[in-house]
Amino acid sequence: MSDNEEMATERTQVVCPYRGSRNIARILRGMPAFTEGRQRGLAEGKVILGGCEVEGIYPLPRYHCNDCEEEF
Ligand SMILES: [Zn+2]
């Protein structure tokens, strides 16, 4: 269970503001450190890579809904 520690700390009860879905991926931006937990999160669709920060868009969305493809 110890290797689930990071995913547990990152797991927040984020709910999609559009449909109330909990199928939410966290958007990682920049150059995140690829821990074992994050690699598994990517594989499971719980984390996506948002790339480098884009100027002109602020605040940047932090979450991506896997159901309706919205970012918020
Ligand atoms: Zn949604």
What is the pLDDT, as a whole number, of residue 33?
81
- Cα–ligand 1 centroid distance for 20 (angstroms): 6
pLDDT in tens, 2-52: 455 455 445 558 999 999 999 999 998 877 788 999 899 999 999 988 876
pLDDT confidence of 53, banded at 50, 70, 90?
A: low
Instruction: Tell me which residue has tokens 């009860």.
Output: 13
| pTM for the full predicted model | 0.64
- Cα–ligand 1 centroid distance for 72 (angstroms): 9
What is the pLDDT, as a whole number, of residue 15?
94
DSSP type of residue 42: H
The answer to whether the CB of 64 falls within 8 A of the CB of 25 is yes
**Residues 6, 24, 29, 42, Cα dihedral to 10°:** 60
